[in-house]
Amino acid sequence: MSLKFGTSGLRGLSVDLKGEPSFVYARAFALYLFNSGLAKQGDKVLVARDFRDSSPEVAANCMGALKQAGLEPVDCGTIPTPALAHFGLKLNAASLMITGSHIPADRNGIKFYRPDGEIGKTDEAAIGAAAELVRADRGTLKFLPGDGEDRGAEAADLFLARNKALLKAGALKGLKIGVYQHSTVARDMFVDVITHYGAEVTPLGRSETFIPVDTEAVSPESIRLMQNWAREHGLDAIVSADGDGDRPLVTDETGTPLRGDLLGLIAALFLGADTVVTPVTSNSGIETAGDYRVERTRVGSPFVIAGMDEARAGGAAAVVGFEANGGTLTGSDFVVNGTTFTALPTRDCFLPVLAVLSRAADQKVALSKLAKDFALPVAAADRLENFATERSAALMAYLRGSAQNLDRFLTPIGEAAETSDIDGLRVTLKDGRIIHFRPSGNAPEMRCYVEAKTEEAAAELLEAGLNEIRNFKA
């Protein structure tokens, strides 16, 4: 069974998750909840899913396992992950999101939520250990799919109400916004919420076939598509999200995507955060872009959540976390527009989208100027797909093996001045450029992140880094 926990949830091939493994892990989650005192017999557990072909079958397997374990599954249908998490917090119920996020359709995954929020790394280990116990006792299991009470509309309405209270009435009036709908479960909510604030909305590119959109490394084909739409419709921005609606995508008026960490930064400023928690992959200019303290973490929402918990324990009162993909988490309550915007410690695409659009509307500036005015170092990122995990491990072992190894690898690129080993290997070169090599935690991919003074220099550095990765011989 080739399933493993990555940066956010359990991931594997769809063909595996459609079978007994998803049943086993859902049963293991039930065992974990019972053993940790987080649930008792008869408690509700929420289940939602994305639009992948495999997701309905995986969801049915999970609901069957939960029911067999003595829990009451609740079917929340196809809603964004943050909507599911928000509903779970309201009901004090654990939940499962069936999604592979941005990875290809031949893969899928399960995200796990305790009644008090997203699981952490220690929880992952406990669920994994419980799965071993369940497999050892599989003779007592009846591998049967199941269903649950349909409360999807209630969960969606609760999340819509949260987002429709964030800005003032008419806050986006005068803006022309495209919504790239593709196959994200956030597609109809985006249209509803943005229209609610007075913008003129144009739905674009709706697909009934799953399209994997990675908001952290937007494909050239997607960029060309959005640039054409921006010109054709005279748009001020295009917004979208990944498959399960927890990572935002926002373009400027030319259809060019804004960096995800800039979206998170603007959300933190919008809320008035006193502490920002973000992974090492986020832009190095964040530290000086606002009046807050910055804590850096490894990549993945569990690490950001742990960092937010530590910040609150240390006395921080207004904590926001975000990742380089733009997914924004709130670790504390905020009072916004006269109402309490309650903490939601899981990635959300709606908060950063609304924060950015409202800032552009308030300042009456184009999004390209809004981004330029922050004067952050130019950052870029991309990935090599189908890069075997064994090869990634060999590359990272080589780079970390000695200073001489790193120097040899970087010979066509530049000289290393300092390194950070928080997650992958982040190298600051002697000329001030930054290059960061990191294996994906969710798929057989190798990622490269760079920073430089100009777009041209960043693009050149990124291509050079990808070439060195591509040509590495284990």
The domains located in the chain, with CATH, are 4-157 (3.40.120.10), 175-373 (3.40.120.10), 378-471 (3.30.310.50)
What pLDDT was estimated at residue 4? 80
State what percent of residues in the chain have pLDDT above 90. Answer: 86
Query: Is the pLDDT confidence value at 3 over 90?
Result: no
CA atoms of 219 and 307, how far apart (whole Å) = 31
Query: Average pLDDT of 448-469?
Result: 95
Dihedral angle, C-alpha 85, 97, 278, 333, nearest 10 °? 0
Instruction: Please say whether the beta carbons of 268 and 277 come within 8 A.
Output: no
- Mean pLDDT, to the nearest integer, of 396-411? 95
Active-site annotation holder among 22, 55, 95, 101: 101
Instruction: Out of 114-118, 141-145, 441-445, pick the least confident.
Output: 441-445
Of residues 192 and 145, more confidence is placed in: 192
Is residue 442 very low, low, confident or very high in pLDDT (cuts 50, 70, 90)? low
What average pLDDT does range 71-89 have in this prediction? 98
Q: Give Cβ neighbours of residue 193 (< 8 Å, ≥ 6 apart).
A: 160, 163, 164, 350, 354
Across the range 268-281, mean pLDDT stands at 96
Residue 101 catalytic? yes
Closest to 344 (Cα-Cα) out of 310, 307, 305 = 305
As a whole number, mean pLDDT of residues 17-31 equals: 93
Question: Distance between CA 41 and CA 127 in Å, rounded?
Answer: 18
| β-pair type (339-341, 344-348) | unpaired
Q: Do residues 241 and 190 lie in contact, with contact meaning Cβ atoms separated by under 8 Å?
A: yes
| Average pLDDT of span 370-393 | 92
For all residues of the chain together, what is the average pLDDT? Answer: 94
Q: Which residues contact 223 (CB under 8 A, 6 or more apart)?
A: 255, 256, 257
- Average pLDDT rounded to a whole number, residues 87-100: 97
Residue with tokens 């690129």: 413
Any residues with CB less than 8 A from the CB of 71 and at least 6 apart, and which? 30, 33, 39, 41, 42, 43, 44, 45
138 has pLDDT over 80: no
Q: Supply the pLDDT for residue 1.
A: 47
Span 304-338, pLDDT tens digits: 999 999 999 999 999 999 999 999 999 999 999 99
| Dist. CA 312–CA 227, nearest whole Å | 41
pLDDT at 115 over 80: yes
Q: What is the pTM of this model?
A: 0.90
Q: Which H or E run contains 32?
A: helix 20-35
Answer yes or no: is pLDDT of 150 > 90: yes
* Cα(49)–Cα(145) distance, integer angstroms: 15
